[in-house]
Structure 1
Amino acid sequence: MHFLLFAVLVSAVFVSAADHLVTVGDGGALAFNPTSVTAVQGDTVTFSFRANNHSATQSTFASPCTKSGIDSGFVPIPANSTLFGQWSFTVDNGSAPLWFFCAQTGHCEAGMVFAVNPTQEKSFQAFLDNAQGNGTTASSTVSASSTMSTSRMVSSISTTASASASSTTLNTTAASNRAAPSLRIHRVAFTVVALIFGILI
C-alpha cells in the first residue's frame, strides 16, 4: 500500500511538468510562434528551428537585442528541410519573466523576440516596442558574424514518434549552456521521493 502511494505521488510530479513548443522562423517568417508562453517552475521550453539560420538568445527587458544569458547558438536549417533543430531549457523560476531574441543581424529589430511569463508591467508588447526602437531603451544587436558557431552544439539525428506517425528530427543541444536555468524535473522528483521515504520510515 505504501509503495502504491509512493508510485502515484512520484508519477504526479513528472506529469505536472509541461513542455512548451515554440517554432522559430516557421514558413520563413522572422518570428517566434507563439510569441510568449506562461510556464511554471520545472516546465521546459523547446525551440524548434524551422527555416534559415536563427537563434534563441536570452536578453533583458531593457535591452531586448543584447545577449544576456543562455543561448542556443545559430541553428542553420536548409530550405524545404524535413529535419528541424531543437534546443530547450528548463524554467527554474516561474515568477521571473525571461526574454529572448534572434541574434541574426536585424532580426531582433524586425520584431523576432519571445518572452516567458511577461507581466502587465513588463508586457510582451512593451518588450517588442523596445526591440523595434519604439520604446525608451536603446539596444544593440549581436552580429551573426560572431565567433559563435554551430560546432558548439552537439547534434544528432534521432527518430521520434509523433501522435500520427514517426518523423525524423534533428535534435541540437548547446553544450556550452550547462549554466542555463537548470532545476530539472528529476531534482524535484528526488526531493519528493526523499520526503515520502522519510514519512514511510
Structure 2
Amino acid sequence: MHSSSSAILVAVLALASCVAAQSASATGSATASAAPASVTHVITVANNQTADNGTAVFTPQSVNASLHDTVIFNFTEGTHSATQSTFANPCIPAHDTNSTINGFNSDLRPAGNGTAITQLVIVMNPDIINDTLWFFDQSTCGIGGVGVINAGNVTATWEPLDAFVRNAIRLNGTASTSSAAPASTGGSSGSSGSSGGSSGTSSSDGGSGSNSTGAALAVRVAPTVVLAPLLALAAALLV
C-alpha cells in the first residue's frame, strides 16, 4: 500500500471515530435533557348549585398535582371565584388570616352562560408544591363551594376535604374564632406562577413528548448517514 493511501486511510478512520463520538455525546445529552412531561389539570368553575349545596361548583373538587404541573380554573358559567384560603377559615382569603401566605385569588368572574369564559392558571412551582392549597368560591362558600389542591395525607393531618366542606358551611363565610382549629400549611405558599390568562383551551395531558422523541431520533440517524460513506471509503482503501 502506498504511503499516501495509508495517510488517507488514517484520516478517514479518524474522522469516522470523531463523528461516532459526537453522535454518542449528542444522543446522551438529548436523553439527559428530556424531562418528564408536566400535566395540565382543569377545574371547571360553573353555576352547578342548588339552594343548599354548592359542592359541585368546582369540578373536580380535589386535584393532586406534581411539581411543574399546571392547574387551570376554567370559569364557564355563573359568577364565581377561585380564592385560596386556609383549612381553619375556608371562606376567608388566606392572606387575610395568615399574612405569610400570598394566596391566589381570581376575584369574582362573571362567565354568563358560557359567553365570557376566562381562566386562572396556577403553576405548581417548588415554593407551593409541598403545601395543601385550600380554595373557595366567594359566591357559594357558605353552602360548600370549596375545593383543594394536594390534600396530602389526611390521616396524618386530620384535614380531609369533607371536613373542609363542613367547616365552610358551619362558618358560613365568617372567620373561625377557635384557637384549636387546625391551620393550613404556613410559610410562603404564594402561587407566584399564577396568572389570569383567558385564551386557549388546555388539555389534560403533557402533549409534548413526541417532539423530544423525534429530535433524539434525528440525532441518531444523521451521523449514521455520514459514517456510511466514510466506512465505505476506508474499506476501498484497504483493498
Query: Normalised by the shorter chain, which TM-score bucket?
Result: 0.5 to 0.7
Q: Compute the displacement of 1:84 (Å).
A: 2.1
Using a 3 Å threshold, how does the CA distance of structure 1 residues 100 and 38 change in structure 2: closer, same or farther?
same
1:130–1:138 Cα contact (<8 Å) kept = no
Of the candidates 23, 29, 39, which is equivalent to residue 44 of structure 2? 23
Structure 2 distance, partners of 1:101, 1:78, is: 19
TM-score by length of 2: 0.52
Of the candidates 12, 16, 37, which is equivalent to residue 35 of structure 2? 12
Of the candidates 146, 157, 167, which is equivalent to residue 130 of structure 1? 167
Structure 2 distance, partners of 1:18, 1:155, is: 18
Using a 3 Å threshold, how does the CA distance of structure 1 residues 126 and 159 change in structure 2: closer, same or farther?
closer
| CA offsets 1:168-189 (integer angstroms, 9 cap, x no match) | xxxxxxxxxxxxxxxxxxxxxx
Alignment of structure 1 residues 41-60 onto 2, 5 Å:
41-60=67-86
Alignment of structure 1 residues 105-116 onto 2, 5 Å:
107-116=140-149
Using a 3 Å threshold, how does the CA distance of structure 1 residues 129 and 78 change in structure 2: closer, same or farther?
same
Question: Corresponding residue for 2:133?
Answer: 98
Q: Compute the displacement of 1:162 (Å).
A: 7.3
Could you list the runs of 5+ residues in structure 2 that have no partner in the other structure? 1-23, 95-102, 177-194, 205-239
Larger relative helix fraction: 2
Could you list the runs of 5+ residues in structure 1 that have no partner in the other structure? 141-152, 164-201
| CA offsets 1:35-67 (integer angstroms, 9 cap, x no match) | 101112211110000111111000001100000
Structure with the greater relative contact order (CA < 8 A, sep ≥ 6): 1 or 2? 2
Paired residues in the alignment total 144
Alignment of structure 1 residues 32-181 onto 2, 5 Å:
32-68=58-94, 69-81=103-115, 83-92=116-125, 93-104=128-139, 107-118=140-151, 119-120=153-154, 121-133=158-170, 139=175, 158=199
Structure 2 distance, partners of 1:20, 1:116, is: 10
Structure 1 residue ranges, 4+ long, deviating more than 2 angstroms after superposition? 1-13, 26-30, 92-95, 137-140, 153-156, 158-163
Larger Cα-atom Rg? 2
2:43–2:72 Cα contact (<8 Å) kept = yes
Q: Report SS of the residue matched to 2:162.
A: helix
Using a 3 Å threshold, how does the CA distance of structure 1 residues 27 and 111 change in structure 2: closer, same or farther?
closer
Structure 2 distance, partners of 1:97, 1:159, is: 27
Using a 3 Å threshold, how does the CA distance of structure 1 residues 159 and 87 change in structure 2: closer, same or farther?
closer
Larger relative strand fraction: 1
Q: Compute the displacement of 1:4 (Å).
A: 2.5
Using a 3 Å threshold, how does the CA distance of structure 1 residues 134 and 57 change in structure 2: closer, same or farther?
closer
2:106–2:196 Cα contact (<8 Å) kept = no
Using a 3 Å threshold, how does the CA distance of structure 1 residues 77 and 20 change in structure 2: closer, same or farther?
same
TM-score by length of 1: 0.61
Structure 1 distance, partners of 2:124, 2:31, is: 24
Calculate the aligned-residue CA RMSD, in Å: 3.0
2:61–2:146 Cα contact (<8 Å) kept = yes
